[in-house]
């Protein structure tokens, strides 16, 4: 069984945006809303970098990432911790880039998050 429960996967699919938290190697935090956040499989999330230079810079220095998804009506959701990998080529990058190209948006990077811990608050 993967780290992401069915309820967490459903929440991520329903709620936009997800909030991504990163920090530079010296600990300077950054948060960024990601409407493109989605579940890749039971142990991975993915999002597109359309315009997130600080998020990408932080992940290149420090791969630790935290994700918060909160349903606006119930204020319940999930928190996820893991490691982010910045991709600028490959099958996953090409697939997501094509999806956004169809909407006239350029993807600079794709971030694949390997989930280490996931916690639901329902």
- pLDDT given at position 56: 98
- Single pTM value for the model: 0.95
- pLDDT given at position 121: 86
User: For residue range 46-82, what is the model confidence (pLDDT) as tens digits?
Assistant: 999 999 999 999 999 999 999 999 988 888 899 999 9
What average pLDDT does the structure give for the chain?
96
User: What dotted CATH number matches 6-121?
Assistant: 2.30.110.10
Structural domain spans, the chain: 6-121
Query: Cβ distance 49 to 109 under 8 Å?
Result: yes
């Amino acid at each position: 069984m993967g780290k992401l429960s069915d309820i967490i996967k459903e929440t991520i699919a329903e709620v936009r945006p997800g909030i991504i938290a990163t920090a530079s190697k010296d600990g300077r935090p950054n948060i960024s809303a990601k409407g493109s956040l989605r579940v890749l499989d039971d142990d991975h999330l993915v999002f597109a970098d359309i315009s997130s230079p600080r998020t990408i810079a932080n992940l290149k220095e420090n791969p630790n990432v935290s994700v918060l998804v909160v349903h606006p009506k119930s204020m319940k959701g999930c928190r996820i911790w893991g490691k982010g990998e910045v991709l600028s080529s490959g099958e996953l990058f090409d697939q997501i880039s094509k999806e956004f190209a169809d909407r006239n948006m350029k993807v600079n990077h794709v971030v694949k998050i390997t989930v280490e811990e996931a916690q639901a608050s329902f």
